[in-house]
Amino acid sequence: MIHLPKHETKLMVAVHGWSGILLGLLLYAVVTTGMAAVFAEEIGTWSAGHVSYQSAFERPFADDLRRLSAQTPAKYHEGADLFEMGDHDMGVFFHRHETEPDGELVSRGVYYQLGKDGQVTDRQFGTGEEIFGPRNDTALSSFLVDTHVRLHVPNPWGLLLTGILGLSMLVAAISGLLIHRHLFKDVFTLRRKANPVLFNRDRHSVAGTWSLPFAFILAFTGSFFSFFGTIGVPIVAMAAFGGDVQALNEAVFGTPGKPDPRPVAIGNLDRVATDSIRRAGDVPTFMTIENFGRADAKVTTFHAPTNGGLAPVSLLYDGAKASFIATKPLIGPKPSAGGTLAAIMSPLHFGNFAGLLSKAVWFGLGFAMCYVTFTGLKLWLVRRAAQARSLDWLDRTVTIVGLGLPFALVVCAAAFLIALPLGSTVYWTPTAFLIASTTVIAGGFLWPTSAGFSRLLQLATAGLMIALPPLRLLTGGPGWATALAAGQPIIPALDVAFLLAGGWMIWRVRDSRPHRDSDTLPSLQAAE
Amino acid sequence: MGRPMSDRSRKWIRILFAGPGAVIIAIVVMAGMALWLPRGAAGIDNLVLPLILVPLIWAALFFHACLDQRLARVAGVALVLLVVHGGLVAHKFLDRKPASVEPHP
Amino acid sequence: MTILLMLAAIAFSTALLVLLCRGDPKRRRTLRQSGKGHGPALRRLLVALSLLPGVGYAVAGDAAAVLIWFGGYAVVGWFVTLSAAQWQDG
């Protein structure tokens, strides 16, 4: 492939290795939870036992919204966001944009949740961030997403950290390409019976080669998301608008038009919803109303991409007349190169542009990323095993994180299912993760051999995965017949996925039992 | 003068450009780009493209600093980018006439 | 893009990747298998054929399908290699 001179190749090998070993464990945590978060929505449905299938936008909600707007102080009519919450209930957030004393831009207002009968089931006042924290029915998917996005480190530091991890993954992908001389020649070569260095090198580079373009895309888009709001927007706003972030937002996301503050009642939003479903071929994922109750009110609906497209579709309506104005690009008032590029960043990262099929493929790619990161760490260790026995602690740490993290996540899911009927998932989901992690860390360092502990962890994870579907049923979750009758195939599908994944792991651990354990260092193998 | 630099100091200069240099220059380039990029059909390309491209700009600077055998070229490219974009931003801020602030749409 | 067509496209590429893996000269050499494996011309042909569905989707201008197919191609290629290594050990 690419032939660098010897000195440069050596340098790239060092860059590849050190970018991996210094940040690899954290990166592994981000990619593992990212892989699971591809199905965050489905995991939410499965874990909370949601069986409704009809979207909140398919039920009449316009009159309820008028009633709520009358109860909400007029200053929060600047914007109203509508989206689905819980089991296809409607969430409404009346808000206005405010700048905090520290310069942070927030949206503050009143949030209402409406049940299927239109009654208010929840009412809260605060900023978007305060209101949209984890809830009893979303604690598990929130936990996954929060780990992936910021590793639970407070803003903006968590995002900066994951952004740096994204860059280190980008560096690993590019340097990996540069140092691999026989990229295509080696793409089918996996020597399972070779010495540990070759064995680990093969499995790392085969998985890395096949998934290389996507490693690049996922790392690039991931670091874009992390740096976008934390560094990018403030700096570009500083350069272009003298620091006025609101002006930048207005230019990029705003809807152009002359302000007209005359009070005019909002039009029939049910008509808007029905029309948008007809035009986009799917229910809105989100609806936002600017200047609610004014003559210049604008409604924008967002929909999943239509056939063949990557970017979500958005439609613009006149709010007062409830009439269609135009199909609008997601970003910018008119279609443009920059707007299109910005709009495909999220489908490229999340793989959510064509339903379950694209998500399944992205999950597979995420699995490849985890595998590449983990085997990369193993390879680094195996290469040094002969020289330094003192790296045993690092070998144990890699096992603890590599196999302990999936274990702790499955424990989280089990704890969520148990705590769901008690209403305490928001506390128990992260707590269970901490307890499981502490146990794994202690066990990992106390267990006689790293290999033995790795086997134990895999069996425990597999056993728990198999136990999840029965646990879900025992704690009051809907059965397969109920779910299927309600048109919710996700629940049985995830049950089956957990059973299969657990079974496969047990089969794999049993399969690797005889004398040669692939995951051990040669020094440990010799001791067996 | 004119004495060739020692390997040690060459190495440190390279590390300086690949490490903190790449980060600072990528950020300054992002800020400066917003001022010279064409605004495009929707008038937003100059605002959006720097935000999207910054990870790639950083990666390009990083690998250039690692791999270009001519250290002078590494320093040259990086410093020219820094001066041009830093200059654009500085000019905008020193030129405090109200007309220099973009009108809000 | 329909789901069935996409599955068929990925299955088609999978079949060719299996062939490519079986006849891969380097893989056969490291396994000390008899026979030399495919020649370069045949391999190029098989690679081109395996990429055909992606080219088709690209010509049709279906960006979503190209990405799904290409992502699937990457995952399948890796799995084919893993399973081949599993089986040859018995």
In the structure encoding, which two tokens stand for residue A22, read together?
């210094």
Residue B103 has pLDDT above 50, yes or no: no
Domain ranges of chain C: 3-88
Residues of B in contact with A239 (CB under 8 A): 31-32, 34-35, 89, 92
Distance from C57 to chain A by nearest Cα, in Å?
A: 9
Of the candidates A239, A229, A80, the residue with the CA atom closest to the CA atom of residue A158: A229
Neighbours of chain A (3+ CB pairs under 8 A): B, C
Nearest to B35 among A239, A252, A332 (CB): A239
Chain B CB contacts of A345 under 8 Å are 52
3-state secondary structure of C83: helix
Query: 3-class SS at A187?
Result: coil
- Which tokens is A151 given? 């590793």
Query: At CB < 8 A and 24+ separation, what contacts does C49-55 make?
Result: C49/C16, C50/C12, C50/C13, C50/C16, C50/C17, C50/C20, C51/C13, C52/C12, C52/C13, C53/C9, C53/C10, C53/C12, C53/C13, C54/C9, C54/C13
Q: Are A305 and A354 in contact (CB under 8 A)?
A: yes
C16 in contact with A, Cβ within 8 Å: no
**Digit-coded pLDDT (tens) for B7-27:** 888 889 999 999 999 999 999
Mean pLDDT throughout B59-80? 94
The three-class DSSP label of residue A519 is: coil
pLDDT at position A118: 87
Query: For chain B, which chains pass the contact test of at least 3 CB pairs under 8 Å?
Result: A
Q: Is the dihedral of CA C79, C83, C84, C86 positive or negative?
A: positive
What pLDDT band is residue C67 in, cutting at 50, 70 and 90? very high
Q: Specify whether the CB–CB gap between A181 and A3 falls below 8 A.
A: yes
* pLDDT single digits (tens) C18-46: 999 988 888 888 877 777 788 889 999 99
- Give A308's contacts in chain C (Cβ within 8 Å): 1, 60-65
DSSP summary character for residue A59: S
Interface probe with C: pick from A185, A202, A203, A210, most Cβ of C within 10 Å: A210
Q: What is the 3-state secondary structure (H, E, C) of B15-51?
A: HHHHHHHHHHHHHHHHHHHHHHCCCCCCCCHHHHHHH
Q: How confident is the model at residue C54 (pLDDT cuts 50, 70, 90)?
A: very high
Q: Which of A189, A190, A353 sits opposite C64 (nearest CB)?
A: A353
Residue C26 contacts A, CB cutoff 8 Å:
yes
> Do residues A267 and A273 touch, judged by C-beta distance below 8 A?
no
Give the domain ranges of chain A. 395-520
| B30 contact A CB<8A | yes
Q: What is the pLDDT of residue B4?
A: 67
- What pLDDT is attached to residue B104? 45
**Which positions ≥6 away from A225 have C-beta within 8 Å?**
A149, A345, A346, A349
CB contact under 8 A, B59 and A174: yes
Chain B residues whose CB is inside 8 A of the A247 CB are 102, 104
Q: Does A401 touch chain C (CB under 8 A)?
A: no
Closest Cβ opposite residue A232 in set B30, B45, B93: B30
Contact in structure between B71 and B6 (CB atoms under 8 Å)? no
Query: Hey, are the CB atoms on A361 and C26 less than 8 Å from each other?
Result: no
Tell whether A210 lies on the interface with C, counting CB pairs under 8 A: yes
Of residues B102 and C67, more confidence is placed in: C67
What pLDDT is recorded for position B81? 96
Nearest CA in chain A to B85: A239
Helices (H), C1-90: 3-22, 25-31, 40-59, 63-88
C 27-86: CB under 8 A from A: 27, 30, 60-65, 67-68, 70-72, 74-75, 77-78, 80-82, 84-86
Chains C and B touch (3+ CB pairs under 8 A): no
Instruction: Give the per-residue pLDDT at A250.
Output: 85
> What residue type is A271 in one-letter code?
R
pLDDT at residue C11, as a whole number? 96
Q: What is the pLDDT along chain A (528 residues), one digit of tens a residue?
A: 678 888 899 999 999 998 888 899 999 999 999 999 999 999 999 999 988 878 999 999 999 999 999 999 999 999 999 999 888 899 999 999 888 888 778 899 999 999 888 899 999 999 988 888 888 889 999 999 999 999 999 988 999 999 999 999 999 999 999 998 888 888 998 888 888 899 999 999 999 999 999 999 999 999 999 999 899 999 999 999 988 888 888 888 877 778 899 999 999 999 999 999 999 988 999 999 999 999 999 999 999 988 778 888 899 999 999 999 999 888 888 889 999 999 999 999 999 998 899 999 999 999 999 999 999 999 999 888 877 667 888 889 999 999 999 999 999 999 999 999 999 999 999 999 999 999 999 999 999 888 899 999 999 999 999 999 999 999 999 999 999 998 888 999 999 999 999 999 999 888 775 444 444 444 333 332
* Residue ranges per structural domain of chain B: 9-92
What are the pLDDT digits (tens) for B32-62?
A: 999 999 998 888 999 999 999 999 999 999 9
